[in-house]
Amino acid sequence: MDVETLSRLQFAGTVMFHYLFPPLTIGLGLIMVILEGLWLRTGDVSWKHAARFWTGIFALNFALGVATGIVMEFEFGTNWAAYSRFVGDVFGSALASEGIFAFFLESGFLAVLVFGWDRVGPRLHFLSSVLVFLGSCFSAVWIVVANSWQQTPAGYRIVETEVNGRTALRAEITDFWAMVFNPSSVDRLTHTLIGALILGAFFVSSVSAYYLLRRRHELFARRCMTIAVIVASIFSVLALVSGHDQARQVARTQPAKLAAFEGHFQTGPGDLYLFGWPDEKEERVRWGIAIPRMLSFLVHDDFSTPITGLDAFPPEDRPRVWIPFQAYHLMVAVGMALIAISLTSLVMLRGGRLFRCRPLLMLHVVTVLAVFAANHSGWVAAETGRQPWLVYPSEQGGVMMPGLRTSDGLSESVRAEQVLASIIMFGVVYALLFALWVFVLNSKIQHGPDERASRASPQRGFLQAAASIGSERHDLLETPTDGTR
Amino acid sequence: MILNHDSLALIWFALLGVLLIGYTILDGFDLGVGILHPIARSDEERRIMMNAIGPLWDGNEVWLVTFGGALFAAFPVAYATVFSAFYMPFMLLLTALIFRAVSLEFRSKVRSRIWRGLWDRGFFASSLLVAFLFGLVGGHTMLGLPVNQDLSVHMTAPDFIRPYPIAVGLLTVFLFAMHGAIFLFLKTEGDLQRRIERWVWRTFGVFLVAYILLTMYTLVEVPHVTRNFREHGWLWVVPLLNVLAIANIPRAMYLRRPFYAFVSSGATIAALAFLFAAAIYPHLVPGTIDPAWSVSIYNARSSETTLRIMLLIAIIGIPCVLTYTVLVYWIFRGKVRLDEHSY
């Protein structure tokens, strides 16, 4: 394989692994803030135990998010040197802002959050969790702004710079706020944050449902489940609204991307596929079921308005279709299912029927995996759908600004075998990390929120793999300090 | 002062220096704690050492992330050249940073001797490797890289194994070990503290010898490092202060004022980072094929508008960052106490 394919694989693999953690920390952050707020308000110490439990899980994910996130920052320079020179003026400032405004806030107050329970008062501790949550949202703000600028660039110009007698193009900021509030950043940020909050809620509901099914930590589980279901209901409905807005925005700003999402090869009224198998050679979707002309209606509120198809673009400017199509449809399908699950659960909260409904609880246990898949596939669709561009060409004040193709963004000095070696290295390290993450997460979940409650219940594996290790592991897995209290 | 493009580039060079100094002083002591980790004899001592940096290491690493982001924003050309040139060292560095984070995070989660032993070794090895690789990269940068006309640098694995950068890498390891030892001395008590005190002296001795040897080696091997000193005589103040700071470490330890010793070792790190910057200025990557192809603060910089905006961001951001840092260090001051939230 060539350097380009390998570098893309490397970036896709490392960023997807990284993206297991940040949305989970954002989502859990909100739950932590709510629980700790309830503790401050009611003085009921069981809210504090609950907040503490989720803080422990949050901290684990945060550490992995930081460790895998530094990789991304390095990869821009190591593998995409030409890209870095092209966008550094714009993208770099967003990345630096993320460091200054978000990471310091998060990491500083995370220390207070995790290690400071006995060192600071409840109010400062609550403030710390609010600030950590805000910090994680800020980091989403800056990185999504940077990414959105590449998709729908604004507030910049392309200039020719000369270094060592050779000229090269690069983007330079002309209007900082226009760059920040480029046409897609608000839509994409909203959708990204909503996705993260849904993930946090379903993560909490998964663990709580597991406890309810096992009849362990029931007070904790009921309370957390209630909060999670409410949060999930609100944001899964909002995800639909923001997703709809975003699709319309993509239709305006990146029509080729929308065409790839929907497998819309020929310009004309657009059908909305529920599923299908796009065939790029034949330029049609096989085995698909579609609502005729529904896409036109959703985008233009009119069934007959034509939607730009891929045929409107020269072949070298078209994205590939299969991956964006499937990823996009997976995200939408999961999104719809989440609305159904969360609203049903919300209704069944009345009288606590949800807590006794075993099938629905079992569904909650596994749904979190689908939410991870939806968050990931959304980004896969967004990033594969914008190909072949790293930075889209655009029109600024009547002047056409050239874009940057993915194939033109590589490092001149990096060779395929180097990239391959690094992929293998990351592959091994990340596989190990993933196994450890699941193992430690499981041990924390098995250990539960307040160890003084429900000691008697047998310890069973949350995941089958872990379950096979055996029940005596319970003692091994307790955090070593348990006895000191 | 008039903020034109040249002065903005100079300011950003200085701000990057500040970030580098912040990073090396702060992460320097927690890397040093990792390098000294094997001297702990019991599980409790190992936990004390890890928890001495427990609430702090993560924030310290953010200085590196921000340094990377600021280099990307202010001097994108240098960012692209440096990061692609050091491809394999940086991939190793990333792996080591991941292992270090994971060792800290996972070690105490399972009560098994094998599990903990594994992560203890991982913590030690990754801290050592991170410190060494930073020194190695710094040493290579001082020597200069074979920058091509298109700003790319083609280096293969054997090119990285050269005596001078390896010597700088070793000095960095000794320096951080000493800095970490003094930090641990501040955070521990009793028998462990007495053993750590012996390590303060040992690491100081090794560092001092290495420092003297490397200084001579640098003047012989990389004579161009003094170029700026000939033009700007006042720069000689820095090595002078550096020597005083180094001399103050044993004095302060002897007088039982370990905090001053810590400040002095921090000042030593700051001085060395400053000397590194003064040695390469105005270049970010001196070129060895044709000095005219060097990556300098003038050909690598962002546009004037961007540098100005970034300066504003820094002016707003830096006081916030300092506030959080001081607050967190204040909250976690004093000796390490293991409690139920510790690692």
CA distance B225 to chain A (A): 23
What three-state secondary structure class fits A411?
coil
ipTM computed for the complex: 0.84
d(CA B322, CA A190): 30
Residue contact B98–A429, C-beta within 8 A: yes
Judged against a pLDDT cut of 80, whether residue A470 lies above it is answered with no
DSSP class of A38: H
Residue contact B83–A112, C-beta within 8 A: no
- Chain A residues close to B155, C-beta within 8 Å: 413
pLDDT at B135: 94
* pLDDT category of residue A453 using cuts at 50, 70 and 90: very low
Q: A306 has which bridge partners?
A: A269
Cross-chain CB nearest to B110 (options A62, A476, A482):
A476
Percent of chain A at pLDDT above 90? 36
* pLDDT category of residue A304 using cuts at 50, 70 and 90: confident
Cross-chain CB nearest to B338 (options A116, A159, A481):
A481
Structure-block tokens of residue A371 = 């939410």
d(CA A223, CA A308): 49
Residue contact A480–B47, C-beta within 8 A: yes
Q: Which of residues 278-307 of B touch A (CB under 8 A)?
A: 292-293, 299-300, 302-303, 305-306
pLDDT at A482: 37
Cross-chain CB nearest to A114 (options B64, B154, B341):
B341
Q: What is the mean pLDDT of chain A?
A: 85
Q: What is the mean pLDDT of residues A407-429?
A: 88
pLDDT at A450: 67
Judged against a pLDDT cut of 70, whether residue A467 lies above it is answered with no
The number of C-beta contacts closer than 8 angstroms across A and B is 278
Cα distances from A48 to residues A109, A122, A211, A320, A448, in angstroms, run 18, 10, 18, 50, 14
Cross-chain CB nearest to A71 (options B94, B310, B332):
B94
d(CA A216, CA A268): 57
Interface test with chain A among B27, B58, B311, B312, by most A beta carbons within 10 Å: B58
Q: Which of residues 53-72 of B touch A (CB under 8 A)?
A: 54-56, 58-59, 61-62, 64-66, 68-72
Judged against a pLDDT cut of 50, whether residue A461 lies above it is answered with no
Which amino acid, residue A235? F
Structure-block tokens of residue B121 = 């070794």
Provide the terminal-to-terminal Cα distance of chain B, rounded to the nearest Å: 49
d(CA A399, CA B185): 63
Paired sense of beta strands A399-401 and B295-296, if any: unpaired
- Residue B335 contacts A where some CB pair is shorter than 8 Å: no
Neighbours of A395 (CB within 10 A): 9
Structure-block tokens of residue B48 = 């004390």
Judged against a pLDDT cut of 80, whether residue A298 lies above it is answered with yes
Which residue do the tokens 């909305």 mark? Answer: A272
Alpha helices in chain B (DSSP H): 5-35, 43-53, 57-74, 76-85, 87-106, 113-143, 157-160, 163-187, 190-221, 227-231, 237-254, 258-280, 304-331
Query: Which residue from A minimizes the CA distance to B292?
Result: A164
pLDDT at A342: 93
CA distance B305 to chain A (A): 7
Judged against a pLDDT cut of 80, whether residue A478 lies above it is answered with no
Residue contact A78–B309, C-beta within 8 A: no
CA distance B216 to chain A (A): 33
- Residue B15 contacts A where some CB pair is shorter than 8 Å: no
Residue contact B77–A165, C-beta within 8 A: no
pLDDT at A132: 92
Q: Where are the domains of chain A?
A: 1-183+394-449
Neighbours of A240 (CB within 10 A): 16
pLDDT at B85: 87
**Are B160 and B136 within 8 A, CB to CB?**
yes
Give CA angle at B106 (B105, B107), nearest 5°: 105
Residue contact A76–B83, C-beta within 8 A: yes
d(CA A435, CA A427): 12
- Residue B129 contacts A where some CB pair is shorter than 8 Å: no
Judged against a pLDDT cut of 70, whether residue A469 lies above it is answered with no
Q: Is the pTM of this model over 0.90?
A: no
d(CA A26, CA A12): 21
Give CA angle at B28 (B23, B33), nearest 5°: 145
Cross-chain CB nearest to B317 (options A101, A116, A426):
A101
d(CA B247, CA B242): 9
- Residue B108 contacts A where some CB pair is shorter than 8 Å: yes
Residue contact B65–A414, C-beta within 8 A: no
Phi and psi at residue A20, in whole multiples of 5°? -65, -30
pLDDT at A65: 87
The H-or-E segment that residue A329 falls in is: helix A322-348
What three-state secondary structure class fits A168?
strand
What three-state secondary structure class fits A399?
strand
Greatest Cα pair distance in chain B: 62
The H-or-E segment that residue B107 falls in is: none
The segments of chain B whose pLDDT lies below 50 read none
Q: What is the pLDDT of residues A185-215, one digit of tens each?
A: 999 999 999 999 999 999 999 999 999 998 8
d(CA B66, CA B85): 20
* Nearest by Cα to A459 from A214, A222, A213, A212: A214
d(CA A432, CA B228): 48
d(CA B141, CA A214): 59
What three-state secondary structure class fits A395?
strand
The H-or-E segment that residue A161 falls in is: strand A156-163
Q: What is the mean pLDDT of residues A268-289?
A: 83
pLDDT at B105: 82
d(CA B91, CA B102): 17
**Are A385 and A329 within 8 A, CB to CB?**
no
Q: What is the pLDDT of residues B300-338, one digit of tens each?
A: 888 888 888 889 888 988 888 888 888 888 888 878 877
d(CA B324, CA B317): 11
* Nearest by Cα to B77 from A399, A226, A161, A7: A161
Query: Which residue from A minimizes the CA distance to B52?
Result: A115
**Are A484 and B47 within 8 A, CB to CB?**
no
Cα distances from B293 to residues A455, B84, B159, B198, in angstroms, run 69, 16, 19, 48
- Residue B137 contacts A where some CB pair is shorter than 8 Å: no
pLDDT at A281: 81
pLDDT at B1: 58
pLDDT at A193: 95
- Chain A residues close to B318, C-beta within 8 Å: 100
**Are A341 and A368 within 8 A, CB to CB?**
no
- Residue B321 contacts A where some CB pair is shorter than 8 Å: yes
Q: What is the mean pLDDT of residues A268-287?
A: 83
